[in-house]
Amino acid sequence: MRSKEIVRVASLFVTAFFLSGLTTSADAFPIPERLEFELSYGGITAGRAVQEVKRDDTDVHIVSTARSADWLRFFFPVDDRIESFLMAGTPPSDIGTPRLYQERKHEGKTITNREARFDRQKLEVTTIDHRKKSEKKNIITNRTYDTLSSFYYFRTIPLQVGMSYFIDIYDCSRLWNTEVKVLRREELVTPLGRFKTIVIHPLLKSEGIFSRTGDMFIWLTDDDRRIPVQMKSKVIVGSITATLTGGSYWPDKK
């Protein structure tokens, strides 16, 4: 497997995630929050990712970063930063909807610098590509999320094993109606300990976390916080794994 593919898939775990959630409790969306992940392939560390959420005045501000491991930087350096700014919603279950999404990516020779500005009144989004100096508009729905904030939206809705849920996601190219299946409950052992988890499976469509790279499975703690403790994405040979290793807090082990 080429190092470029390893890091490309690893970076998908940052461009969000990163779906989560299964509760309508206000405690399901703690702010501030910091989650730290190790990205590995075949037991070898391929990179690290950090996801943080905080409040900036009335906005909910989500920041996701990913960097390749030292041994990969010579072949295929990755340095990504993605941000989403959400307008405050109605508590306890509504985290709000995105007003601004920004992504700055450096992956090998590819450099991306673009943003999406959401207009909820007109139900349209304006995407600006700063490197190509281009601008375009697309139609959205009243519950459209970007690839990063979609993860946090799923932390605020009730989900049941055996059910499928749908969400509209705009990825700076087009709008996707994405299906997420809730598969099963499972006990999982990680470096942080043993957890009772619930496994979800987004049906991959667009770029970012919903890329067509391969099947993705996410293990969420089966408690009020629904923290992603592990994620796996299948690739041509084997799979890439993102494992929670620390942060500002993590849920109680069960």
pLDDT digits (tens, 9 = 90+) for 173-213: 999 898 889 999 999 999 999 999 999 998 866 544 334 44
What confidence tens digit (pLDDT) does each residue in 121-154 have? 999 999 999 999 999 999 999 889 998 888 778 7
Distance in angstroms (rounded) separating the CA atoms of residues 147 and 18: 9
Average pLDDT for residues 60-85, to the nearest whole number?
A: 91
Domain hosting 157: range is: 3-247
Tokens of 186: 């499972």
What's residue 253's pLDDT? 45
Does residue 237 lie within any of the structural domains? Answer: yes
Average pLDDT for residues 72-80, to the nearest whole number?
A: 87
Positions of E strands within 8-155: 33-41, 44-56, 59-68, 78-87, 97-107, 110-119, 124-129, 134-139, 144-146
Number of domains in the chain: 1
Does residue 172 lie within any of the structural domains? Answer: yes
Does residue 252 lie within any of the structural domains? Answer: no
Q: Are 89 and 96 in contact (CB under 8 A)?
A: yes
What's residue 126's pLDDT? 98
Does residue 253 lie within any of the structural domains? Answer: no
What confidence tens digit (pLDDT) does each residue in 23-48 have? 333 345 567 889 999 999 888 998 99
Tokens of 99: 């007003």
Q: Are 147 and 171 in contact (CB under 8 A)?
A: yes
Does residue 254 lie within any of the structural domains? Answer: no
Lowest-pLDDT range of 63-67, 74-78, 137-141 = 74-78
What's residue 250's pLDDT? 52
